[in-house]
Amino acid sequence: MLFTPFPPPPRYQDVAQMDVDDDFDGAEAKMTSPGEILTSSQAFMRGHGTFVVDEEVIASVAGTIDRVNKLVSARPGGRSIASPDTDPRYNPEVGDLVIGRISEVGPRRWKVDANARQDAVLMLASINLPGGIQRRKLESDELQMRNFFEEGDLLVAEVQAFFVDGSMSLHTRSLKYGKLRNGQLVTVPPVLVRRLKSHFIALPCGVDLILGLNGRVWVSKHVHREENDGDESFDAALVYSNQNDEIDVSTREAISRVSNIIRVLADRFVPLTDALLVDAYEWAVDQECKVTEILHEDVADALAAAVVARI
């Protein structure tokens, strides 16, 4: 009709053949944003955060460019090999410890909201039965699935595998995993939880911590774990119990204090580790500030500064 298509603006053609090869070392981050041409697809392969049009690799997210040999990818936010991602969503990997909430009870499976792009799946076959018996799950088990986990229950689990559509499958086949009680949930950006040797931390103040890699932290009363972990003889009623134990006032205070400390540190973008939390707790006790005072702006700033200085 009347119009011819617009010619592409000249400045893109100018930068089109940027040489990804030169001075590309891992410590420095090159930035990009959607629609920017990174390189030619003949010389390079496209990775995450990129797509190919007319033999050109184009970024689809704003962030940093990564290159591994012939693979070029763009990572959202400030993420690069040198610095982990700031993606607000959790990107699961097999073996990760996550804390999720049951969102749905389905046929032979639970749907679990674990802050990922899709709900995770917990198969009936991948939980421990009360009594610790190892056997095929029967129809009778299927009928009483709500006795194990109900909608809204919090649980800690491990990522077992992925389905073809990218959603993850969880399992709780260890005594360490299962339903959560006796505590409080704190949510932080997933970046702030780094992979540690153990994500089950017992703080000296009588508080247990579970750091989920999906950015959820469970702060609870300390429970003594039997040394013969993994043994068949565990108390079935307790594992799937919905009843909190008796928690005394000082423990409640300690739990709230730890929770507030985590909130404060997360607000100031400080990655969480066990040593850091112990430090922060000691600082809070030394300063004799009340539990709620930790959340006050000035106290919180002082806390973060004191803790970061000690690292």
Q: Residues in the site for another protein, rule: CB under 8 A?
A: 2-3, 5-9, 11-12, 15, 18, 23, 27-38, 49, 51, 58, 60-65, 76-80, 82-84, 86-89, 103, 111, 113, 117-119, 165-167, 191, 269
CB of 102 to another protein, least distance (A): 13
Residues 6+ apart with CB under 8 A from 205: 254, 257, 258, 281
What does the alpha-carbon distance between residue 14 and residue 134 come to, in Å, rounded to a whole number?
A: 65
Query: Please, which residue, 37 or 289, has the CB nearer to another protein?
Result: 37
Q: Which is nearer to another protein, 15 or 94 (CB)?
A: 15
Give least dist CB 39 to another protein, A.
8
Comparing CB distances to another protein, the nearer of 103 and 256 is 103
Closest distance of CB 115 from another protein, Å? 8
Residue 191 CA to residue 215 CA, distance in Å, equals 7
The minimum distance between CB 187 and another protein, in angstroms, equals 9
* Amino acid type, 295: L
* Identity of the residue, 91 or 241, whose beta carbon is nearer to another protein in the bound complex: 91
Q: Residue 22 has which token pair?
A: 């030169």
State residue 80 phi and psi, 5-degree precision.
Answer: -155, 180
Of 139, 66, 70, 67, the closest CA to residue 108 belongs to 139
Cβ proximity to another protein: between 76 and 130 the closer is: 76
* CA–CA gap between residue 5 and residue 18 (Å, rounded): 26
- Structure-token pair, residue 12: 């893109």
